[in-house]
Structure 1
Amino acid sequence: MSSRRRTIVAFAIAALSNLVLAGTVAAQSENRELIDGLEYQLLYVALPLTLFVLVILIYAAVKFHDNDDPEPTTEDPALEITWTAATALILLFVGLSGYSVLVNPYVSPSQAIGGGTSDQGTVESFDDLPDTADEEIYVQGYQWSWQANYPDSNITTENELVIPANENVTIWLTSDDVIHSLFVPELGVKQDAFPGDYTRARTIAEPGRYDAVCAEFCGAGHSRMDADVIVVEPETYDQWIEEHDGEGTVTDTPDPE
């Protein structure tokens, strides 16, 4: 085998190995698993096609680089139909794969309220939001911090969001001033917060401490508008809620370890 072929084969093996190893990393939330799954599906299609096109390109460049009398490609209806049909199938696969993830309730929650109205009437505060079967937390963004409110317990935290692990959690978001966006990369959670409106983020997460940032430029302090998302076992979460019920602002948050 020539050195050129060995290089191509080595590159292909390395790329496939990295892809397989990346797919073995456990997702930290339902959202992240859905997004990663879509990325791997698309990579499984894109990588072989990319290698196929590169091989043909290299072959054509080597074989015909010194052709002094090139001729136009002859008509081949069968080949044209084949690559048109193959392209259509690939686009259909990409479209269906993307759509199945985008409509998932953990990626695009069904109840996202804009304009201050919902099926239950006018929404003027968190208290008017529709009920869900999830554990609900209210989060307000403001320049340049996040405030989390636990509606049934009169508990408020600053730049720390505590949620129970392995349970459906709904985070209702709004803003006090300009548009913000709560982004938790490791959990695959990203939702905008609008002044006067209420949007919903939904997740099921594994225990751990995760970094959250604002993903929408919101002024001079945007770069320091971050927070910790603390995911703890349900028993720890219930105990923390019970210990601090009615205290108002709480700085003593539980440790996920």
Structure 2
Amino acid sequence: MDPGSRRRRAIVAVVAAAASFLALTSTVAAQSPNRELIDGLEYQLLYVALPLTLFVLMILVYAAVKFHDNDNPQPTTEDPALEITWTAATAIILLFVGLSAYSVLVNPYVSPSQANDVETNGSQEGLESIEDLPETDDEVVYAEGYQWEWQATYPGTNVTTENEIVIPAGEDVTFWLTSGDVIHSLFIPDLGVKQDAFPGEYTRARTTVDEPGRYDAVCAEFCGAGHSRMDADVVVVERETYDQWLEDNDGDDGDGDNVTEAPVPG
């Protein structure tokens, strides 16, 4: 087989593999608007980056093959039109990347401070206690990270869970996050949720989960020797199941710190 045929086969194989990858990844349904936004941005950038990468690789292969035995190489002559063209093309690509990323970053699910249901003046500074937290139309869960577990409490009840966070499906949910010791970060990969939790402060994460089920959550900020064991389940159930679960496990000990030992639904 001649070298030219081998090169053509290699290029075709790379293109086919890339097309197969795009076809497979595009069939995975996002479970939340957060994940949908992030996946959409990744696909947009991939659709731009992949052709450019193949184009550059083909030029490199062409140059390596054509000039590999050139005994008298000459510098490239000046070509203002070409330089203007690739500078303008680079500027257009960067503008596209910036606008695509901006449209995702300002979304109220990715940046909850942009949500119009609370008045936070565009930031979350100064939220140092539950009393400071603004009212929201979302279902609210307070989540506290500490070495090395997650503890969730549910407003208006005496229910507290450890390493399991229960939320209703199909509704906007706000997680108010804080930490009892060092910096932690609640990361739910399948839902595209990631937010740091700071000692003495409250930060907000926001999502809507379409499908009931269990989703893995981990700490994404190194927080000590037990960091790798700091995981939890986000349990998403129908609204009726959620309300019934809260009612069944709402202890009346009056101190707001009743860690439920009843099975979590789902």
TM-score by length of structure 1 reads 0.92
What is the one-letter code of the residue matched to 1:230? V
Find 1:16's aligned residue among 19, 25, 35: 19
- Matching of residue 113 in structure 1 with residue 124 in structure 2: yes
- Residue in 1 that maps onto 2:255: none
Aligned length: 249
SS in 2 for 1:127: helix
- 1:113 positional shift: 2.6
Any conservation in 2 of the 1:240–1:253 contact (CA below 8 Å)? no
SS in 1 for 2:241: helix
Alignment partners' CA distance in 1, 2:251 and 2:37: 37
Alignment partners' CA distance in 2, 1:124 and 1:80: 54
- 1:124 positional shift: 4.6
Alignment partners' CA distance in 2, 1:96 and 1:72: 37
- Matching of residue 37 in structure 1 with residue 40 in structure 2: yes
Any conservation in 1 of the 2:245–2:265 contact (CA below 8 Å)? no
- Unmatched runs of 5 consecutive residues or more in structure 1: 118-122
What are the residue-to-residue correspondences of 1:13-92 with 2, within 5 Å? 13-92=16-95
Alignment partners' CA distance in 1, 2:79 and 2:23: 38
Alignment partners' CA distance in 2, 1:143 and 1:7: 51
Q: Name the CA shift for 1:193/1:67 in 2 (closer, same or farther; >3 Å).
A: same
- 1:11 positional shift: 1.2
Q: For 1:2-59, what per-residue CA distance to the aligned partner results, in whole angstroms no more than 9, with x for missing partners?
A: 1220121111111122112201100111111111111100000000000000001101
Runs of 4 or more off by more than 4 Å in structure 1?
none
SS in 1 for 2:112: coil
SS in 1 for 2:151: strand
- 1:127 positional shift: 3.3
Q: For 1:226-255, what per-residue CA distance to the aligned partner results, in whole angstroms no more than 9, with x for missing partners?
A: 111101112211221222233522133444
- 1:142 positional shift: 1.0
- Residue in 2 that maps onto 1:154: 158
What are the residue-to-residue correspondences of 1:189-204 with 2, within 5 Å? 189-204=193-208
- Residue in 1 that maps onto 2:234: 229
Q: For 1:120-174, what per-residue CA distance to the aligned partner results, in whole angstroms no more than 9, with x for missing partners?
A: xxx5522331001100000111111111000112211011000011110000001
| Identity %, equivalent residues | 75
